[in-house]
């Protein structure tokens, strides 16, 4: 079976994931390297419906309900989108994946981290990215970059975002082979160059 390459992009809201993932897509397209861009939540049809609830539901959402909505999205997205694309030999670029759930629902919301890792393994049948790029950003800087109306998670306070940042950095420390950290406190172009350097190691 052909095997593609699975690359995920992680970090707090406003750290530059979407900006960088789109630049990487352009870079791969220019070099005629087959790739697909997807995201969580909302990278598949069912996930699109779940994303609407997750980001815009007005009434209180219990922490555990929030966790299982993300996991439901991931189960569907992994089985019907990511795995088939990897089997076709594609490079799959995914905006958020397992580490978001550990950082947000675990570190930032204070739920059991080991259990979330286990649940991630269950819903993905242990599919791990080949490479994960975490954009590390100061919580105040991230807030200042977010324009327009904020979604349900972006509205969380500074303590939430500090715990989130710590979570991502600890995840990187315990998964040094897979997770690479790039500082967001640089120009879009410089960050893009660092991403390209990392990704080159996987596509050559
Ligand atoms: N290195 C940078 N320097 C200055 N501004 C940046 C940089 N990278 C991204 N931005 C700007 O910051 C804002 C947030 O970036 P972007 O949407 O890529 O973040 P994100 O991580 O995808 O956020 P979200 O998690 O909310 O989707 C955008 O307006 C973008 O143009
Ligand atoms: Mg984004």
Q: 109-161 pLDDT, tens per residue?
A: 999 999 999 999 999 999 999 999 999 999 889 888 888 887 877 778 888 99
Strands, E assignment, the chain: 5-10, 35-39, 91-95, 131-136, 179-183
The mean pLDDT value for 68-86 works out to 96
Question: Among all ligands shown, which has an atom nearest to the Cα of 17?
Answer: 1
Low-confidence winner among 60-64, 75-79, 195-199 (lowest mean pLDDT): 60-64
pTM of the shown model: 0.95
Low-confidence winner among 39-53, 79-93, 138-152 (lowest mean pLDDT): 138-152
The mean pLDDT value for 164-189 works out to 98
CATH number at residue 178: 3.40.50.300
Euclidean distance between CA atoms 204 and 5, whole angstroms:
11
Yes or no: say if 93 and 36 are a contact pair by the CB < 8 Å rule: yes
Residue 78 is part of which domain span? 5-203
Q: Peptide bond before 2: cis, by omega within 30 degrees of 0?
A: no
Percent of all residues in the chain with a pLDDT value above 70, rounded to a whole number: 99
Number of domains observed in the structure of the chain: 1
pLDDT band at 103 (very low <50, low <70, confident <90, very high): very high
Q: Is the CB of residue 42 below 6 angstroms from any atom belonging to ligand 1?
A: no
Pocket test for ligand 1, best of 9, 12, 13, 18 (most atoms within 8 A of CB): 18
* Among candidate residues 54, 9, 10, the one with its CA nearest the CA of residue 35: 9
Where does residue 83 rank: exposed (0-12), middle (13-18), buried (19+ CB within 10 A)?
middle
pLDDT band at 51 (very low <50, low <70, confident <90, very high): confident
Give the pLDDT confidence score for residue 2 in this predicted structure.
54
Give the pLDDT confidence score for residue 178 in this predicted structure.
98
Low-confidence winner among 49-58, 68-77, 88-97, 145-154 (lowest mean pLDDT): 145-154
**Residue 15 alpha carbon, nearest atom of ligand 1:** 21
**Residue 154 alpha carbon, nearest atom of ligand 1:** 26
28: left (phi over 0), alpha (psi -120 to 50) or beta: alpha
Residue 153 sits at φ, ψ, to 5 deg, of -85, -35
**Residue 190 alpha carbon, nearest atom of ligand 1:** 1
């Amino acid at each position: 079976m052909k095997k593609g390459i699975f690359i995920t992009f992680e970090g707090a809201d406003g750290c530059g994931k979407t900006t960088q993932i789109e630049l990487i897509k352009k870079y791969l397209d220019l070099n005629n390297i087959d790739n697909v861009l997807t995201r969580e939540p909302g990278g598949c049809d069912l996930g699109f419906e779940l994303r609407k609830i997750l980001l815009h539901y007005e009434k209180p959402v219990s922490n555990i309900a929030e966790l299982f909505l993300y996991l439901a999205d991931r189960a569907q997205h992994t089985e019907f989108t990511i795995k088939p694309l990897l089997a076709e030999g594609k490079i799959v670029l995914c905006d958020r994946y397992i580490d978001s759930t550990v950082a947000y629902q675990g570190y930032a919301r204070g739920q059991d981290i080991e259990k979330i890792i286990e649940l991630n393994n269950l819903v993905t049948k242990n599919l791990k990215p080949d490479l994960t790029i975490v954009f590390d950003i100061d919580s105040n800087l991230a807030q200042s970059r977010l324009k327009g109306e904020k979604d349900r998670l972006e509205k969380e306070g500074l303590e939430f975002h500090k715990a989130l940042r710590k979570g991502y950095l600890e995840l990187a420390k315990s998964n040094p082979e897979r997770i690479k950290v790039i500082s967001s406190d640089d120009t879009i172009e410089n960050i893009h160059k660092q991403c390209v350097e990392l990704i080159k190691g996987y596509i050559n």
